[in-house]
Structure 1
Amino acid sequence: MESLDVSVENLGNLKLKLTISVPKEVVKDTYEKCYRNLKSKVSVNGFRKGRVPQSVMEKRFERHMKQEALEELVPQNFDKAIKQENLKPAGQPKFSDLEVNKRKPLKFSATFEIWPDFELPAAAAFELEKKEISISDEEKEVKKKEHLEKKITYALKDGQAEDADQVLMDFSVELEGEENANEKDFEYVLGSKQFLPEVEEALVGMTAGEEKEFEVSLPEGHQEEKLRGKQAQFTVKVKEVRAKELPALDEKFFESYGEEVNSEEDFNKLLEKEITDAKEQQDKVEYRAKLKEQLVKQLDFEMPADVLAEEVKFKLKQLEQRPKEEGKEAGSEGISDEEKEKAEKDAAEHLRLAVYFQKMLEKDEISVDENEVRQRFMMNAKMLGMDPNELIQQEYGKQFYQETHQMVIEDTVLDYLTEQVLNQ
């Protein structure tokens, strides 16, 4: 690939000015392409569509053709120039001297900020205390109970309904004389807190075949505005009372876990692994947090002024949105000087960390698991109640994916650094 004629001027404060010369042959070829694209789209009196001479087109549509030529030549050759000079812009460039003539080379300028060059702190500059993982009998019992609770069954019982029992019932609810709900054969576990406390209290002590009517005051904070503070009349008929039964640790129970569990010993190993994995993940989170705290103190290099200003502006805008999110008018509460100062500090810390993570990622032994990025994005999308495939098509979704990618970069680098620090 033929190289461009590029001159680089250092303007100081992490700002560069490139002067880029594009050969006239390239300019002419771009004009020819613009002509071919345009001639089939426009009509000129006296000529058939698609047969308008180029000289006529250039005269009639001079401004349009120049603009189209610049829109192709400038970004294309700017990208080629920064790759040629091995430069990494920190923000959007500002172009100048944008005068194009198909008979002359195009010479234009681009001014932009760059990221700073700095020495990466060595692993010895960080301190972490390695945590040893131990598992208590109590933790095993808690984890075992979690597994057993997922496989509980209910069996008919005589007597009164108690906490943790399941009742099979018909019930209806009336509000101001009108029926609001009517359910048949409804299964409800006492203590699950799906109903109001007053309803649960009324159900406790009931027996199979018993009917009861009672009144409940709906809370002022009810999610449905029309129901707030209203009196609700409940009519309940309990058909069955069932007691909770935990599964036995038998062959049928072990089979539900697949091939990895064939005995109580295997089951206990599974419990220990789950506890260990959870503790290792928690330790990872704590290691990352401690390393970030230390990094913030160690990274003090200069940041590009314009990029930093944009980041501060973004954080201040987030602060301005708080009243709106709290149901107040935007701007009803101003931003204090302390908050502005914190926004500036947070913006600088955020950018320095981002630059550090990116530079660390350039090391040969560190790479981002793109599958992890996709899995996190899908999980987060589902937590938002959205289809990941539909979300990624939206502008917000694309930004969300980039944020997820950045989070995985951060975790990847911090986990790598954790290993280096703990093993030094």
Structure 2
Amino acid sequence: MEIKVVTKQKAEDKIRLDVEFPAADLESQFDKLASEYGKQVRVPGFRLGKVPLSLIKTRFRESLRAEALEKILPKVIDQAIKEKELAVYGAPMFEDEEASMSAILNKNDKSPIKFSVSFYLPPEAKIKDPKSIVLYDHKLDVTEAEFNEAIEEETLPFITLDEVTDTIKPKDLITADIIFSEAAYEEYSLRGHQFTYTTAETGGAYPSYLNDLRKLILTMRAGMKREEKVVFTSLGARAGASEDSTAGDKAKVAGSVETTVCIAIERVKRRGAVVFNEKLLAKLGVASEAEYKERIREKLRKLEPALLEQFHVKEILAGLKKTSKFLIPDLALENYINYEWKHYVTQLKQMLAQQGADENQFAQLEQSLPKAPGEDWKQRARAKGQVVLREMLIFEELKKRYPGHVDEAAVNERISELAKEYGKTDVEAFRKELIKAGDFSRLKNHLAEQATWKEVIKNCKHKKGNVYSLKELKALIEPPPADATT
């Protein structure tokens, strides 16, 4: 597609593109859509697919031209950005969008189509030393109890199944048959079927189409006998509803059916019974119990999956509080860590390219980044944490360079929302409380970030108390030149 682009710097952080492209390209897209539409639309007096193209173009001109424009504009804008080798952020902002689109749609001559669109530019943040940007390392102190539990987890698959001769103990792994009474067979159409479950503690698998069985699984608990009849009341599975009830509960509800089942426990894997005999050591592939335990300890030191299940990304991110102070809602953090890793690598590359950095300089930065997240949990968590820290750096630079981005009306609107949220009827008094507490300036900064990065944190809400400090992170960014600040 042949296009013409003229760039105009509107502000230090915003650029305008004046674009024009041939009207024939829009007409070509219009003709293509009209042809496709003609195969599907029904018009009185014509068979399906036999409506004249000229009639389609006349009757559906407005909607087809609007759809054609909707399809072609993103391609034109993308081509304009690439031709000018720009790094831009957010959605395109049209100059007087309604009038511009209306003029294009109502245009009848063959002269080029013209429009103007603006974008935010990325901040020219200068990273002093990429290798100094590191995620706070969540240190794990392995307790003796955790160590012993890890050993049990590792060895459990190798322990021989024993017949159950007594009641269930806590954390036993149970295999059991669920045997229905005749009435239950009839009600659930399960005649001739048995279900086998393997459950640990109070959870387990059950047929998704028979949700009432969940209560049965939950009753497979410590103290349960080898064979125990359970009577429970529920709406039939086919009725699409269920009623929670404890074992032996005979309370009736409208339309319910009393169902009796027998939980016949067959086998169990018992925890806390690890005996390191020669047979078990051979299965584990070690020569001695000491060698095996050292292997487990080494795994725990490296934060391998044996204990990683106990952690969550939020716990890793909590470490940020020890290195930074920054007003950023929890929801914003979640938004950051959910962005694609490749997007941020590209973002950093564009930012460096704007500063005239060459490929070698970017390669140095890239080496300091974690690799693209794979299956390893720690690698994923570190990658996500690195992203959050880099975004914090960029936001801090924005705050220094563009302090005038705050719309006072937006501040007042947000204060009114917060006042309502906290049950304050006097908005002005609430504003004074915020100023006294120091939260007012933080709120303004937060709104400035929202205004500049609304595509990144558009759904975030300010929540009192989520305050982080950027004191140590500030040292990682070189201050902007005096002539670059506004």
TM-score, normalization by structure 2: 0.44
> RCO (CA 8 Å, sep 6+): is it higher in 1 or 2?
2
TM-score by length of 1: 0.49
